[in-house]
Amino acid sequence: MVAKLQGDARNKALQSLKGWAEVEGRDAIGKTFKFADFSQAWGFMSRVALAAEKLDHHPEWFNVYNRIDIVLSTHDAGGLSERDIDLAKLIDAAG
């Protein structure tokens, strides 16, 4: 089972991310990405999907045209874990 991030480890992990914020009412982080058009947004989603599949950790996301809203939380841990931090970094690299 994956451990939930807490205390100093959680704070340090969150500080290592750029543009990600805690989601109100959930133990999760989220970020919005905007692209020039739908095609670029879809390409980004494809890159993220391949990386997420390799990690066996999948984002919650919502796409409308050029905008993608992503939320990360580890259901097995009951909240934010190191797996979410790792995936957030991969997502940022894919953008």
Q: What is the CATH number of the domain that holds 22?
A: 3.30.1360.20
Strands (E) across the chain are located at 21-22, 29-34, 60-64, 67-72
For residues 62 and 48, what is the distance between their CA atoms, to the nearest angstrom? 13
| Cβ within 8 Å of residue 95, ≥6 positions away | 33, 44
DSSP tag of 23 = P
pLDDT, residue 1, reads 75
What is the structure's pLDDT at 15? Answer: 94
Distance CA 66, CA 54 (A): 25
pTM of the predicted model over 0.85: yes
Q: What is the mean pLDDT of each run of 10 residues along the chain (95 residues)?
A: 91 95 96 98 96 93 98 93 95 90
Has residue 45 been placed in a domain? yes
In whole angstroms, give the CA distance from residue 88 to residue 72: 8
User: Which has the closest alpha carbon to 5: 71, 22, 54, 63?
Assistant: 22
- Coil, strand, or helix at residue 14? helix
Q: Is residue 14 part of a domain?
A: yes
- At 88 the pLDDT is 96
Total domains present in the chain: 1
Q: Which domain holds residue 34?
A: 7-94
